Amino acid sequence: MNQLFDLLIFLVPIYIANAIPVVLGGGMPLDFGLVLPDCERLFGKGKTIRGFIAGVLGGTAAGGLVAMIYVLPFFAGPQQQFIASFVLALGTMTGDAVGSFVKRRAHVDSGRPFVLDTLFFLVMALIFVYPVANGSLYEPFGLAFMLILTVILHPLTNAIANRAGLKKVPW
């Protein structure tokens, strides 16, 4: 139980970073409108500079607040957990952009659902934080829990954001 709670708390900067651009994104696209020879955008209109930066800052702030209240067993102390929050938020937004890059190469339109939508950002965040976290974060049970939870929560929260008028499409 304790272990599940820790994993939920660990996911805070990742989920916050992923959610914030929906509200705060907009303006100049991350790819500056660049089109590759396959006639598709590098990342597409769904990835903006403001969204990327807001996601990184928001995820870092959320994880930083958590670190002041509760130190996770995956990190050596609050400072390391704060640094990890930044790394996790950066990994999340990078994974999100890489996911869009792959989507565009597969000729899937921006905003359309795609199998990897749900997991790219989580996997990238976990890779990014590897040098900062200790090995207990990467136990098979914990990894499976985080992947399954995210596969369930991501479409659910997207549908809620759509109902709330924050997101144009329900995925």
Q: Which stretch binds ligand CTP (CB under 6 A): 17-25, 57-65, 72-80, 149-157?
A: 17-25
State which residue, 102 or 148, has the beta carbon closest to ligand CTP: 102
Tell whether residue 44 is a contact of ligand CTP (CB under 6 A).
yes
Q: Which residues of 84-94 are buried (b: 16+ CB within 10 A; e: fewer)?
A: bbbbbbbbbbb
State which residue, 22 or 146, has the beta carbon closest to ligand CTP: 22
Torsion 118-23-48-26 (CA) sign: positive
- Taking the complex as a whole, the smallest distance from the CB of residue 166 to ligand CTP amounts, in Å, to 9
- Taking the complex as a whole, the smallest distance from the CB of residue 24 to ligand CTP amounts, in Å, to 8
- Taking the complex as a whole, the smallest distance from the CB of residue 109 to ligand CTP amounts, in Å, to 7
Tell whether residue 63 is a contact of ligand CTP (CB under 6 A).
no
Tell whether residue 111 is a contact of ligand CTP (CB under 6 A).
yes
Q: Which residues of 61-79 are buried (b: 16+ CB within 10 A; e: fewer)?
A: bbbbebbeeebbebbeebe
Three-state secondary structure of 77-125: CHHHHHHHHHHHHHHHHHHHHHHHHHHHHCCCCCCCCCHHHHCHHHHHH
State which residue, 79 or 105, has the beta carbon closest to ligand CTP: 105
- The CA distances from residue 159 to 130, 154, 165, in Å, are 31, 9, 10
In the chain, the amino acid numbered 164 is A
Among 9, 103, 125, 129, which residue sits at the site for ligand CTP (rule: CB under 6 A)?
103
The contact set with ligand CTP (CB under 6 A) reads 21-22, 25-26, 30, 44, 46-48, 51-52, 93, 96, 100, 103, 110-111
